Amino acid sequence: IQLTQSPSFLSASVGDRVTITCRASQGISSYLAWYQQKPGKAPKVLISAASTLQSGVPSRFSGSGSGTDFTLTISSLQPEDFATYYCQQLTTYPFTFGGGTKVEIK
Partner 1 sequence: EVQLVESGGDWIQPGGSLRLSCAASGFTFSGYAMAWVRQAPGKGLEWVSAISIGGDTTPYADSVKGRFTISRDNSKNTLYLQMSSLRAEDTAVYFCAKCYTHCQNNYFDKWGQGTVVTVSS
- Give 46 or 74: the residue with its C-beta nearer to partner 1: 46
Q: Considering only residues 4, 51, 54, 68, which one is a binding residue for partner 1 as defined by CB under 8 A? A: 54
Q: By rule CB under 8 A, what count of residues binds partner 1?
A: 25
Contact pattern from residue 8 through residue 47 relative to partner 1, giving x for each residue in contact according to CB under 8 A and a dash for the rest = -----------------------x-x-x-x---xxxxx--
Segments of 13-66 assigned E as strands = 18-24, 32-37, 44-48, 52-53, 61-66
- Give 16 or 91: the residue with its C-beta nearer to partner 1: 91
Beta bridge partners of 53: 47
The secondary structure of residue 44, as a DSSP letter, is E
Query: 34 and 21 in contact (C-beta within 8 Å)?
Result: no
Minimum CB–partner distance for residue 16 and partner 1 (Å): 23
Q: Considering only residues 63, 83, 98, 103, which one is a binding residue for partner 1 as defined by CB under 8 A? A: 98
CB atoms within 10 A of CB 44: 14
**Chain-centroid distance, C-alpha 99:** 11
